[in-house]
Amino acid sequence: MGQLFGMAVWLALSFLCCLVSMRAATAQTTDTLTIGYVEIAGDPRYAPVRGAERMILATRDRPFPAVEVAVDEAKPLSPVIHREFAVVRITAKTADDVAQAVLAALQEQHIHLFVLDLPGEAVKMLSQAVHGKDVLLFNATAPDDWLRREACSADVVHTAPSLAMTTDALAQYLVFRKWRDVLVLQGPRPGDAVQADAFVRSAGKFGARIAGRVPFKLGNDPREREQNDIGLLTATSRDYDVVFVADTDPDLEFARSVPYRTTRPRPVIGSVGLMADAWLWTWDRYGAPQLINRFLAKTGRHMTGLDWSAWMATKLVTTAALRMRSGDFGKLAPQILSDASYDGVKGLAVSIRPWDHQLRQAILLATGDAVVASAPLPGFLHATNELDTLGDDQPETPCRLGGG
């Protein structure tokens, strides 16, 4: 009985101590650092993937919960820096309404840091609209290379890997495996040509060879069988080690039909098969499983590359706030844009390239459920940072934001 009573008192005391410590934290926490998450209603990039029979093969989820996971992770920092973290979801009706919504959030809610879930064009329009204001934008979903080259902006940090980074990762892997000869199958969409161009450029950069570049067309018309029959498309006289498919059709109807239908028994990469992405939920090194489990517990789904990029953007903000012991934009933005490195749970520490504000990061090469390799691959060396073997290095980019 006495022991029980003692236990009760002890528990009560420990409860009291927690109340007191919580109150102390609340009393000191006078401010909230709010991050804006910007999206467009009905963004077609999130339309579900449909099969030929209109069945839904896969859903595509927005990365908003990833921002919430990063905000949750930062909660223990609040008593240390006397500041809470929060996220506000800003949904614009159309791409034309994005700038107005962001400027309103800046003026009315004093939000300066925005994680963008926007297509490349919308990112560009927004960066022009906010130029000169106390705003830093994090592009978490648009891979477009032109957004980091001709249209690059000092107001945008790209946590999403660029297309060039992903095709460089694939090319490195092929050279690493000595699968040097590649047959490129390219679809009719403008995006298909952009992807194929990026891959051809990467192949040249790392010493893979283009054995052929063949246009494909989705369909059953026997008059066009040279373009729609995978057997014929892949029956080139010149041999190849691997087939790269460039297909930006959201349903990937053609790409999905290529593996196992090639004339020669060759692996398929690019839009299907071995793919390059910022993240895969089966990645299990460097503390990744813990993040994946936190994400799964919050959302009930697997964490994607878009999720990682949005999580990383938020993590840059919360870590900068911790390091500066501040939530002031005037202190956070220079810290984020400095040469400081951050933990991206992908091995090599991530950091921002001064010349185009692209986040340096490892790229995962993966099938649907297995990580095959992480780029940079062994043997691809760089004078200062191996991660700069992926994507636009300083001498390669037309963008000159800083860093000499």
Partner 1 sequence: MPLHAKGTGLVFVSNERSNNIIVLDPGTLKLVKDLQTAGRPRDMHFNADHTLLYVACGDDDVIDVIDVAKLEVVGKLATGRSPEAFAIDEARQRLYVSNEENSSLSIIDMTQNITIKEVPTGAEPEGVLLSTDKTTLYVTSEVDDLVHVIKAEDGFVSDSIVTGTRPRRFAATADGKELWVSTELSGEVWIIDRATDAVTDHISFLPPGMRKTDVTPVGLVITADGKTAYVTLGHANHIAVVDVATRKVTGYVLVGDRAWGIALSHDEKTLYVANGLGDDMTVVDVASRKATESVPVGRTPYAIVIDD
* Contact residue for partner 1 among 172, 262, 319, 326 (CB under 8 A): 319
Interface mask toward partner 1 for 343-362; x: CB under 8 A: x---xxx-------------
Helices 288-299, 305-324: axis angle to 10 degrees equals: 110
Q: Of the candidates 88, 154, 218, 322, which one interacts with partner 1 according to CB under 8 A? A: 322
Q: Which residue type, as a one-letter code, is found at position 114?
A: F
211-250 footprint of partner 1 as x/- string (CB under 8 A)? ----------------------------------------
Q: Is 48 in the site for partner 1 (CB under 8 A)?
A: no
- Would you say 83 and 327 are in contact if contact means Cβ atoms under 8 Å apart? yes
- Measure the CA–CA gap between 384 and 316, rounded to whole angstroms: 22
> How many angstroms separate the CA atoms of 324 and 318, rounded?
10
Does 317 help bind partner 1 (rule: CB under 8 A)? no
Using CB under 8 A as the binding rule, whether residue 21 contacts partner 1 is answered as: yes
Distance CA 120, CA 15 (A): 51
Cross-strand pairs, 115: 37, 138
Decide: is 13 part of the binding site for partner 1 (CB under 8 A): yes
Beta strands in 41-146 (DSSP E): 49-50, 56-58, 83-92, 113-117, 136-139
Rounded Cα distance, 175 and 206, in Å: 7
SS3 50: strand
To partner 1, the closest distance from the beta carbon of 32 in angstroms equals: 18
Q: Binding of partner 1 at residue 88 (CB under 8 A)?
A: no
Both ends of the chain: CA-CA distance in Å?
74
Asked if 386 is part of the footprint of partner 1 (rule: CB under 8 A), the reply reads: yes
> What's the closest the beta carbon of residue 373 comes to partner 1, in angstroms?
14
State the minimum distance, in angstroms, from the CB of residue 4 to partner 1: 13
Closest distance between partner 1 and the C-beta of residue 260, in Å? 32
CB of 17 to partner 1, least distance (A): 5
Q: How many residues interact with partner 1 (rule CB under 8 A)? A: 28
Q: Does 190 bind partner 1 (CB under 8 A)?
A: no
Interface with partner 1, residue 97, by CB under 8 A: no
As a whole number of angstroms, the distance between CA 254 and CA 230 comes to 9
Q: Cα dihedral angle (150, 156, 159, 162), rounded to 10 degrees?
A: -10
- Cα–Cα distance list, 356 to 106, 155, 158, 291 (Å): 24, 10, 9, 28
Nearest to residue 331, comparing CAs of 33, 75, 30?
33
Q: Work out how close the CB of 334 gets to partner 1 at its nearest, in angstroms, rounded to a whole number.
A: 18
In the range 53-82, which residues lie near partner 1 by CB under 8 A? 73-74, 76-77, 79-80
Residues that bind partner 1 (CB under 8 A): 10, 13-14, 17, 21, 73-74, 76-77, 79-80, 287, 290, 293-294, 319, 322-323, 325, 341-343, 347-349, 385-387
